[in-house]
Amino acid sequence: MENFDKFNLSSDIKKSLKNLRFTKPTEVQSKTIPFAIAKQDILASAETGSGKTAAYLIPLIQQIKTKQNVLGIILTPTRELAQQVADVAKLLVGYKSGINIALLVGGSSMNIQLDQLKKRPKIIVGTPGRINDLISRGSLSLRNFNFFVLDEADRMLDMGFGVQVDKIVNNLSKSKQTLLFSATLPKEIIQLSKKYLSNPKRVDIEENNVIKSQIKQKIINTKTEEKYSKLIDELSVRNGSILIFVRTKYATEKLKKRLIKDKIKSSAMHGDLRQNKRDRILENFRKERFRILIATDIASRGLDIPHIEHVINYDLPQIPEDFVHRIGRTARSGSVGEALSLVTKNQSKMWKSIEKLLDQLKKPNKKNKHEDTKQKNYEKIENNSDNKSVKKRYRKRKKSRSKSRKYHR
């Protein structure tokens, strides 16, 4: 596939692609667009950085422009991701297209969103909570929405949105096309896909984008009490924008205060901040009004800020997969970036798991081995009815992990 011509896209979309400087489709786009335009359901394992947003937006916009009565809704797990998707959608539909886009996310003014709904949007992008709120108030009917995208489905379940998503799906048109995108395909996602998709086209991406790209990795083994001074040393020798990940919401603010005392300006972002504050911080970071952003794993997925040159893992994440998402915030679209991890003795076990995962992802044909092993372990425990206590322990661990992730973001 050399360029986008093969897809017979409308001339407006071609123009928008040109403006965006998208000359060749990415792998996920090549594998998704023709089938999605032909109205097939899609189950894609693709993560941020693969070009997945345009992989579902191009077919949606093409259908809106060329077919009657196509209305699309895209659900994302976070408000920031929804905003990003809505921005790409606006660029792809082009100015003066007459195709209105509504962004429906929590923490933002209800009145503005009600105004957007009055304009009869053809594309809705949003998070599950706010969309359900609007449905229950009677302000939103999804009865005619027939193109449904569930983006970052694994994260959606992880954040406990399963029931909310179900409610939304029940409100959609009965004759809808569904596209499910997920970074990983654990058993829960396969089950979900059986519920939501009919005879889907499976799209798997051969190589992990994050591993393939130009990310230089550096590890510093250190002691807890020396971590902060090591960080200061590293900050002083780095230029460009830096994203620092810590484990808890409290730790973001604490580190920010310590840096202020050392006359280093930064901002902290976490899930307890009001949405307009979160938006403002991200906007200012995007516009390079400050250089250092300290965040919880709320920022580990989806953010596409090209000028982030360094990701620093001040604390390691709670699960190895989040490490891959974190470092993927740098070296966007083929540029170079650096990932630094400060590893203390009590985090060495987690570091080993991360190394193991990175090794597996570097070997494309072994990529899914990680998923397979995870799934096999899960199935072994789930199916072993004799081993009730193990089963119970495993379920409890899964539940507490999901609870604690909510706390940390």
Which stretches of the chain bind ligand AMP, using CB under 6 A?
22, 24-26, 29, 48-54, 304, 332-333
Write down the least CB distance from residue 313 to ligand AMP, Å.
Answer: 21
Distance of CA 126 to the CA centre of its chain: 13
Q: Which is nearer to ligand AMP, 28 or 73 (CB)?
A: 28
Write down the least CB distance from residue 269 to ligand AMP, Å.
Answer: 19
Write down the least CB distance from residue 333 to ligand AMP, Å.
Answer: 5
| Rounded Cα distance, 273 and 278, in Å | 6
Residue with tokens 């830096």: 242
Q: Which is nearer to ligand AMP, 3 or 141 (CB)?
A: 3
Q: Which is nearer to ligand AMP, 26 or 108 (CB)?
A: 26
Supply 147's token pair. 């193109």
Q: In whole angstroms, how large is the CA radius of gyration of the chain?
A: 21
Q: Is 130:151 a contact under the CB 8 Å cutoff?
A: no
Q: Which is nearer to ligand AMP, 25 or 231 (CB)?
A: 25
Going 391 to 44 to 201 to 157, the CA torsion angle's sign is positive
Write down the least CB distance from residue 305 to ligand AMP, Å.
Answer: 9
| Rounded Cα distance, 7 and 1, in Å | 10
Continuous segment of H or E residues that includes residue 230:
helix 227-236
Supply 94's token pair. 């082009």
Supply 142's token pair. 């999804």
Helix (H, G, I), strand (E, B) or coil at 383: helix
Write down the least CB distance from residue 43 to ligand AMP, Å.
Answer: 17
Q: Which is nearer to ligand AMP, 181 or 323 (CB)?
A: 181
Give the N- to C-terminal CA distance of the chain in Å, as an integer: 40
Instruction: Read off φ and ψ for residue 69, nearest 5 degrees.
Output: 55, 40
Share in percent of the chain as helix, strand, coil (round to 5):
50, 15, 30
Write down the least CB distance from residue 173 to ligand AMP, Å.
Answer: 26
Start-end of H helices in 264-366: 275-286, 320-327, 348-362
Write down the least CB distance from residue 84 to ligand AMP, Å.
Answer: 7
Q: Is 248:296 a contact under the CB 8 Å cutoff?
A: yes
Q: Which is nearer to ligand AMP, 241 or 347 (CB)?
A: 241
Q: Which is nearer to ligand AMP, 44 or 142 (CB)?
A: 44
Write down the least CB distance from residue 88 to ligand AMP, Å.
Answer: 7
Continuous segment of H or E residues that includes residue 229:
helix 227-236
Instruction: Read off φ and ψ for residue 58, nearest 5 degrees.
Output: -60, -50
Q: Which is nearer to ligand AMP, 135 or 215 (CB)?
A: 215
